[in-house]
Amino acid sequence: MLDGLRLYLRYMGVSVRSQMQYPASFVMLSLGAFLFTGVEFVGIWALLHRFGSVEGWTLPEIALLYGMVQVAFSISDATSRGFDTFASMIKSGDFDRLLLRPRSTALQLAGQELTLRRVGRFTVGLLVLLWAASHLDIAWSSAKLSLLAASILGGACLFFGLIVLQATLAFWTTESLEIVNTVTYGGVETAQYPLTIYRPWFRKFFTAVIPLACVNYFPALAILERPAPFALPWVSPLVGVAFLAMTLQVWRLGIRRYCSTGS
C-alpha cells in the first residue's frame, strides 16, 4: 500500500517535470480554464443579482455549493487523465504494455498524468469558496471545516469513479463514450444549485444512482445548518469513496473481459 503510494508520487513527479517542458502552454491553458470556469460563475452571479434568491438560497450559499463541486471536480479531473484517455490507449494497443508490468493497471493509469492546467478551475473554485466562507453568516467550527474537506475529497472520489466507469466501458465498445461525460459534466452543473430545485426523478438519480448529493448538497446543508432530509449528512462523503471502490471492482471485470477477448 505504502509502496504503491510511493510509486504514485514518483509518477506525479515525472508528469509534472514533463509538463514543465512546455511552460507557455501550461500558463495559457490554465488561464483559459480559469476564465471558462469563472465565466460560469458570472452567469450564476447574474441570475442571483436579478432574481435575488432561488428556493430560499442566497448567493453566498449557492457559492458554497459551487466552490465545493468545482474544487472536487478539478482535483479528480487533474488526476484521472489516464482513465479519461483510456479508450485511445486500448485502440492503439498500448494497454498491453501496462499489463506487461508487475503492477496494478489502475495504479499505472492513475499515475499517468497530473494534469496541471486543471489548476485554473481549481483556483476559481477555491476563490469562490473563500468568498462564500467570508460572506456566510455561520460559525465555522473545526467539525464543519473537516466536513467541508471530507466532502470535497468524497466528491473527487466520486468524479474519479465516474471516469473509471467511462474507461471500463471502453473494454466493451471502442466507440465514443460521451454518455459518461454527460453524467459527469451534467453532475457538475447540477451540483451548483440546491437539489430541491430539480424534478423528483432527477433528484433521485443524483442521490441514489450517482450519489452526487451525498458529497455536495447534504454536507452543505449540515454546514449551513439547514434542515436535512435525513440524519447523517456528516457521514455522506464516505459514499463517494465507496462509489470509487465499487467502480474499481467493475474495472477488474473489464480487464478480465479484455484478456479473454483480446479487445
Partner 1 sequence: MRAYWAIVSARFRTLLQYRAAAAAGFGTQCFWGLIRIMVLQAFYRATTAAQPMSLPQVVDYIWLGQAMFAMLPWSIDFEVAAMIRSGTVAYELLRPLDLYSLWFSRAAAARTAPTVLRAVPMFIAAGLFFGLRPPASTAAGAAWLLTMLGALLLACAISALLTISLLWTISGEGVVQLMLNCVVIFSGMVIPLPLFPDWAQSTLNFLPFRGILDVPARIYSGNLPAGEVAFLFAHQLLWAAAFIVAGRCMLARGMRRLVVQGG
Partner 2 sequence: MPQILVENLTKTFRIAIRQPGLWGAFRGLLARRYRTVRALDGISFSIEAGELVGYIGPNGAGKSTTVKVLAGILVPDSGRCEVLGRVPWRERVANVRQVGAVFGQRTQLWWDLPAIESFELLRDIYRVPADSYARTRAELIEMLDLAPFLDVPVRQLSLGQRMRCDLAASLLHSPTLLYLDEPTIGLDAVSKLAVRDFIRRLSRERGVTVLLTTHDMDDIEALCTRVIVISQGQILSDGTLEALRARVTPERWLIVDLLEPNDALTDPDAMEIRRDGSRVVLRFDPRVVPAAELISRITARHAVRDLFVENPPIEEIIARLYREEQT
List of residues contacting partner 1 (CB under 8 A): 22, 24-25, 28-29, 31-32, 35-36, 39-40, 42-43, 46-47, 49-55, 173, 175-179, 181-183, 185-186, 189-190, 193, 197-199, 202
Closer CB to partner 2, 21 or 134, in the complex: 21
Return the number of the residue (5 or 197) whose C-beta is nearest partner 2.
5
Q: Which stretch binds partner 2 (CB under 8 A): 61-69, 97-105, 124-132, 223-231?
A: 97-105
Residue 5 binds which entry of partner 1, partner 2, none, CB below 5-8 Å type-dependent: none
> What's the helix, strand, coil split of the chain in %, to 5?
75, 0, 25
102 binds partner 2 (CB under 8 A): yes
Residue 93 sits in the site that holds partner 2 (CB under 8 A):
yes
> What's the one-letter identity of residue 150?
A
Q: For the CB of residue 39, give the shortest distance to partner 2 in the complex, in Å.
A: 31
Which of 70, 75, 154 minimizes the C-alpha distance to 116? 75
27 φψ region: left (φ > 0), alpha (ψ -120 to 50), beta (else): alpha
Which of 2-10, 34-42, 130-138, 246-254 is the region at the interface with partner 2 (rule: CB under 8 A)? 2-10
User: Segment 14-53, which members bind partner 2 (CB under 8 A)?
Assistant: 14, 17-19, 21
- Whole-number Å distance between alpha carbons of 60 and 212: 20
Enumerate the β-bridge partners of residue 57. 54
The sign one gets for the Cα dihedral 186, 41, 30, 10 is negative
- Nine cell digits for residue 104: 496494478
- Our finding on whether 252 is near partner 2 (CB under 8 A) is no
Residue 79's Cβ-count burial label (10 Å; 0-12, 13-18, 19+) is buried
- Work out what residue 142 binds among partner 2, partner 1, none; the CB cut-off runs from 5 to 8 Å by kind: none
Q: Measured between alpha carbons, how far is 65 from 74 in angstroms, rounded to an integer? A: 14
Interaction of residue 6 with partner 2, rule CB under 8 A: yes
By CB under 8 A, which span of 1-9, 40-48, 135-143, 194-202 interacts with partner 2?
Answer: 1-9
Q: State the Cα–Cα distance between residues 108 and 80, nearest whole angstrom.
A: 11
Residues that bind partner 2 (CB under 8 A): 3, 6-7, 10-11, 14, 17-19, 21, 92-94, 96-97, 99-103, 108, 259-262
